[in-house]
Structure 1
Amino acid sequence: MYTITFKFEQKGLEPITLNNIEPDQSILEVALKNDIDLHHNCGGVCACSTCHLYLEQGEDLVEELSDKEEDFIDRAINPRLNSRLSCQCVLLEGDGNLVVTLPDQTQFLGE
C-alpha cells in the first residue's frame, strides 16, 4: 500500500495525504477517486499535458517515463526535470511514499 501526499502550487490549497492506496492505478486515478481536481483533457490516455505534475518523491515507485510521455511533458506549462503526466504514473507492486506537487491549474483554463 502507498501513501501519496498531494501538494498544490495554487494559493489557498493545503496538502492532502492519502493512505492505503493500492498499486496498479495511476496517480490521476487516485486523485479523481479522492475528489482532488486534476485536469485531464484527453481522458488519461497520454494525448495531452493537462495532468502534468511534479513528482517530488517516489519516482522509483511508478512506471518509467516513456518517450511518448516525455514528448507531451515538453508541451506542458513550466516543465521541470521531475515533471510527469499523472495518467502515466502507474503505481508498481509494492509500497512506499510518494509526494507530488500539482501546478497551479488555473493556468490551463485557456487550453
Structure 2
Amino acid sequence: MKVVNIHFKFQDGQPDQTHVAVEGESVLDVALNNGVQLQHNCGGVCGCSTCHVYVQRGEDSLPEISDKEEDFIDRAINPRINSRLACQCVVQAATDELEVLIPTQNFLGH
C-alpha cells in the first residue's frame, strides 16, 4: 500500500507537522489520529463546512471535488479555489506529498 506524506501548515502560527497517510485515509482522519486540531461538527460525513482546509500542493492525490462538497465549501469562511473539506480528501497516492493549510479554527461552524 502506497503512503503519502501530509504536511500540515497552520494559519494561526502553530508549528508545521508532517504525518504519513495510506491510500484510503482522509486528511481529516490523519489529522485527528495525530493530534492535529481540526473541527468536524458533522463527524466527517460531508454535512458541514467546519473541516475546511486549503490544499496547497499535491491535489493529484485527492479525488475530484463533488457537487455536495462544493455546496458546503460555499458556506465556509474565506473559501478559495484550492478549498476542500478534509473529510472528503481521501488519499489516492498519485503523488508522494500533500500540503494542507488549516485555517484558524475559532468559529462554531456552519
Matches within 5 A, 1:19-38: 19=20, 21-38=21-38
Q: Please, what TM-score do these two structures have when normalized by structure 1? A: 0.92
For residues 93 and 7 of structure 1, the distance between their equivalents in structure 2, rounded to whole angstroms, comes to 20
What 5-or-longer segments of structure 1 have no aligned partner?
A: none
Give CA deviations for 1:14-59 in whole Å, capped at 9, x if unaligned. Answer: 100113x211010000000001010000000001000000000111
Q: Which has the higher helix share?
A: 1
Percent identity at matched positions? 55
Q: Name the SS for the 1:105 alignment partner.
A: coil
| Residue of structure 1 equivalent to 2:9 | 7
Q: Please, what TM-score do these two structures have when normalized by structure 2? A: 0.92
Aligned residues: 108
Q: Name the SS for the 1:46 alignment partner.
A: coil
One-letter amino acid of the structure 2 residue matched with residue 92 of structure 1: Q
Instruction: Kindly report structure 1 stretches of 4+ aligned residues shifted beyond 2 Å.
Output: none
| Residue of structure 1 equivalent to 2:99 | 99
